Structure 1
């Protein structure tokens, strides 16, 4: 059994081929990983960064990707403005989205993580609009869920990094790097 942790950079597809590109080819996992027979267990959107688990173990893939297993996934989210306690409590209680109410989450303000890498391109800085980092742990995976949750409480996401999947984290793993577990 092979399982690796990969720190997916911004603007990289969570797949090994680019089937939908009509213009210039987009970066995929194959630009970083050359191991046969492994596949992502879950996805990260192209505009999201961070931890992606890849494996050749179908049971492990199902455990990670299927929401019925309720495996926690922790995100570091840079948002516009500073969320007050009421906004954080709404994230904790569950946010009403178009496809239903999210499961309760853990949410707290954090200082900017020290292990952050530079993003290319960088997040647009606006002098007139402060930003803040929050840590959000969810146990489901609706499409673009974290971005929709923060927008619903009035704090659009500027940068989204998945820090942990279950007990695995990004600790010691630079952007675009991977390691066996």
Structure 2
């Protein structure tokens, strides 16, 4: 098993145009267990065990994934409650999430390129835990409650945590 801290702008695959996993990881015959989109950062698990890959990535196993979101606007209690109750998206209702407002983490690396900043619009940080993994689900959930995601960082998948893994680095476990 390999834990990787994926930078912004990196494709979660080993081939294709642009930066991808092969620019960072030189291990043969491993594959991502679940994906992060190009615009997201943080923890990606990779394995050569197909059964384990399936258990990590398939929604039926309810593997909890933890994200930090920087959203546009000052998040409201109402929005947090909606996230915790589940959201109806175009492809169906999400399971209830665990959501809470947090302070910007002091350990967080600078993103390149930085997020867009609007002088008159504040931002907020949320910790969000979900057990599903629909396409761009977290971004769609935050937008649905009126707070578009500016930055999304996955810090945990089940018992696996990003911890102090530096951006662009990986660790075999």
In 2, distance between residues paired with 1:41 and 1:115? 26
* 2:72 is aligned with 1:80: yes
* 2:112 is aligned with 1:114: no
* 2:8 is aligned with 1:10: yes
C-alpha deviation, 1:104, in angstroms: 0.6
SS in 1 for 2:69: strand
Counterparts of residues 123-134 of structure 1 (less than 5 Å): 123-134=115-126
C-alpha deviation, 1:59, in angstroms: 1.4
For 2:48, the equivalent position in structure 1 comes to 56
In 2, distance between residues paired with 1:172 and 1:128? 33
C-alpha deviation, 1:93, in angstroms: 0.4
Say what the alpha-carbon RMSD is for the aligned residues.
0.6
CA distances 1:21-44 after superposition (whole Å, capped 9, x unpaired): xxxx31000000000110000000
Gapped regions of structure 2 (runs ≥ 5): none
Gapped regions of structure 1 (runs ≥ 5): 19-24
| Number of aligned residue pairs | 173
TM-score relative to the length of structure 2: 0.99
In 2, distance between residues paired with 1:172 and 1:13? 22
